[in-house]
Amino acid sequence: MPDPEPADGYRVTTEPSVIRSWAEHRGARPAVASDPGRPDGPEPLRINFPGYREDGLREVSWDEWFRLFDERELAFVFQEQTAEGGPSSFYRLDARPAEP
């Protein structure tokens, strides 16, 4: 999936190299989170940033994270910079858009 730079500053990609580079540039690691409300459900994917520890977060390998990312057909929506010009830590995982 292409990852153009839209006017709003958010990018969308499914490319592992882009996602991993973005996270590592911020010192972040791949992780999954346990969901106490759904103990038998899939563990939500997360990016674990230094200093922002979330309860129930478990770091995983990039291989495992991308395997789950692809199985769930997700897209990575992210921002490179804040309005002030510093590195942004904003991201979210969305369903991949349907191919035309």
pTM assigned to the model: 0.83
Q: Is residue 48 part of a domain?
A: yes
Looking at the structure of the chain, the number of domains it has is 1
Q: Which two tokens stand for residue 3?
A: 């990852």
Whether residue 11 contacts residue 4, with contact meaning beta carbons closer than 8 Å, is answered with yes
Q: What is the pLDDT of residues 5-51, one digit of tens each?
A: 554 679 999 999 999 999 999 999 999 998 666 666 678 999 999 88
Q: Is residue 4 part of a domain?
A: no
Q: Is residue 25 part of a domain?
A: yes
Q: Is residue 40 part of a domain?
A: yes
What are phi and psi for residue 13, nearest 5 degrees? -150, 160
